[in-house]
Amino acid sequence: MKLDDLIDKYFLEDNEQEKIRLFQDVKNNLGYDDLNAEYFLALAFKYKNAIQEKKQVLIYQDELSETMMTNASIAWPTAILDESMLKYLPHTSYRDIQAKYEGKKCEEVVLWIKKMQAGTGSSIERRRYLSHLFKKEFGQVVIGAKGTDLFVEIKPDVMVSIVELQLLQAIHLAESKVFAGVILQDIVSKETERSLDEIWQKKSALYGGRSYLDIIHNTEGLGVVEKIFQHMIPTIDEDGGFSFNRMAPAGHGLFGVEALKAAIVPKHRPDITNKILISSIGNGEDLGSSPDAAMVAWMSNENIPIAMVTTTKTKIDLKGGQISLLKEDDKYYATIIEKAQAEQSNQLELFYELGLRENDKEAFFNTNMVLINYNVLIPIIENFVFEIGLKDFFKEITPDLIVNGKKQLDPDGIERKYFQIEGALGSVILNLDKLHRKKYQKPLVHFLNVETEYRDRFFSPIKNSFDFMMQFYSDRFYLDKETFKLISQKEDQIPMVDLQDDHYKDVYNTLSDFSCVSIMELEKLEVEGKVNFSHLTLKGQIKVVNHSGKYFDLTAYLKANQSKLLLENVDVLIDVNGKCQIRPIPSSVRTH
């Protein structure tokens, strides 16, 4: 039976026993476990039943007409949220909870840390980098997760990956007795599973050559549970049917569904007794994507069931999602307004400006870190399931559908378009919040906003090769060799950097071209073309345009033409003949 026919039959079947049998057929057809099969069917149901178009979402503006407001859902991002509406969006400042809970241990809490390691991070090319680092032939390099493929020297000739640093963080936490226990769990895919497994078996130079798995098994208060596996799912072909010709990940919404399922099914969560279980879900390559003791103490002492961690939007966050209130049918719901929605409503410029204008409040930028207090959440979820049933509960929390069209050249030589269906972690959590608001007329999810001066402690994602260079190979950050945390050398926001040539997607190129660079005082850097900046000090705002079509060694040029290896508030133009001109950028035209 074709997959589409099997899915349709499953959705139409009323007999519970037959439905269970059909579910097993779907699982066998796809080779999935229960979690992935349930998630795929939930997305498929949303896709096949997406008949009614949702209302257009408009960001609130004074000039919106009554007709526009009647025919659309109106959103108020936190930057423009009226004081009277704050009760609909429970939020807490990290600065406040740090003042209240800093230095307090959480001896009654077991912290369950989950890292999302299922993606390979195609925006960062690292084969050449790994080939040079480990003296391997280029073709022998196998790509895993970003966190397993990016390395830092922590002592002479000792290189460790970012995932290893996260393990060392956990070991330090356990040894310092901050919590009653620390439990680790990996979230992997077919592409990344092997690289994570190799890390667990790797012998640590810091612990006498013992494997990380052995260290964790023999460290009091530290444990590890079975990994969560994310499968690729079929995509939609041009005829609207499911196709195995292109398989794609279904987004991190799966991890949100799994986290809420753990509140219902005990085997999905660690077996602990007489303790408080608080879980965190965070980005796999981000050293800061775990809560500190102050956050955990706040969750525990104030009985917070779920918190989404946000950070105050800065100029480098123009394109990211913003926490907002959405008004539908005279009710307020929490949501995340994305760039795509602003484009559809012709409000992209407003979306970019929110939170950066003089009279705006803080715009809450979504970090993708979620904290869950299971001791508080379990009875809430159990009550939902009792009242509406397990099937309807999971239907309600299934993430809103994201459909991404991708073209590919098929083996028969014909280019076709396929549509990937996926969902986001934040959407799962906010759909649960929406369900709670509908039933009990009050919010469930809290928002913990981390101010700019604390941002790097909890949100340092590596989106591109420059981020990696900046965090581990520049003077902007340093790695604390005791806690294995990334420490910012400066409280100001990190520089805005736009490297427009694909040359800089390669980690090897970026580390070479920015070797020994100083960016402590850098505010903004725009680069077109291939340019070497090694050993330079970059300050203020700099724009470099290389029209020569060739690699230009700016360091060598400055050595030959001026005494200081310094660029500060300048435009650099390299013409088609390779002639270089450097001109100051007047203060009046710099961005502030």
Structure tokens given for 325? 């209130």
Alpha helices by DSSP H, listed for 284-344, are: 293-301, 339-344
Torsion of CA 136, 140, 145, 150, to 10 degrees: 10
CA pair distance 116, 130, nearest whole angstrom: 22
**Between 425-440 and 253-261, two packed helices, what is the crossing angle to 10 degrees?**
50
Instruction: Give the DSSP per-residue string, 368-417.
Output: EEEEEEHHHHHHHHHHHHHHH-HHHHHHHHSPPPEEEEEEEE-TTS-EEE
Instruction: Please list the residues that pair with 542 across neighbouring strands.
Output: 525, 570
Q: How far apart are the first and last CA of the chain?
A: 61
Instruction: Please list the residues that pair with 526 across neighbouring strands.
Output: 498, 543
Q: Are strands 179-189 and 106-116 parallel, antiparallel or unpaired?
A: parallel
Query: Hey, what amino acid is at 392?
Result: D
* Domain residue extents for the chain: 56-82+94-458, 490-589
Residue-wise burial string across 295-306, b where 16 or more C-beta atoms lie within 10 A, e elsewhere:
bbbbbbbeebbb
- Written in H, E and C, the secondary structure of 477-488 is EEECCCCCCEEE
Place of tokens 């981000």: 286
What is the pLDDT at residue 199?
95
What is the pLDDT at residue 2?
86
Kindly report, residue by residue over 18-53, the tens digit of the pLDDT: 999 999 999 999 999 999 999 999 999 999 887 445
Specify whether the CB–CB gap between 224 and 88 falls below 8 A.
no
Q: How many CB atoms lie within 10 A of CB 31?
A: 9
- 490-589, which class in CATH? mainly beta
CA 437, 443, 444, 446 torsion: positive or negative? positive
What is the pLDDT at residue 66?
67
Q: What is the DSSP letter of 53?
A: P
Q: Are strands 158-161 and 580-584 parallel, antiparallel or unpaired?
A: unpaired
CA pair distance 317, 421, nearest whole angstrom: 25
Fold annotation for 56-82+94-458? Spore Coat Polysaccharide Biosynthesis Protein SpsA; Chain A (3.90.550)
Q: How many CB atoms lie within 10 A of CB 577?
A: 7
Contacts of 79 (CB under 8 A, 6+ apart): 313, 322, 354, 355, 357, 360, 361, 362, 363
Contacts of 59 (CB under 8 A, 6+ apart): 74, 75, 76, 77, 80, 324, 337, 342, 345, 347, 350, 351, 354
Task: Using 70 as the pLDDT threshold, list the residues of the chain that sit under it.
Answer: 1, 51-54, 66-70, 592
Helix/strand/coil for 6 = helix
What is the pLDDT at residue 53?
53
The radius of gyration of the chain from alpha carbons, rounded to an integer in Å, stands at: 25
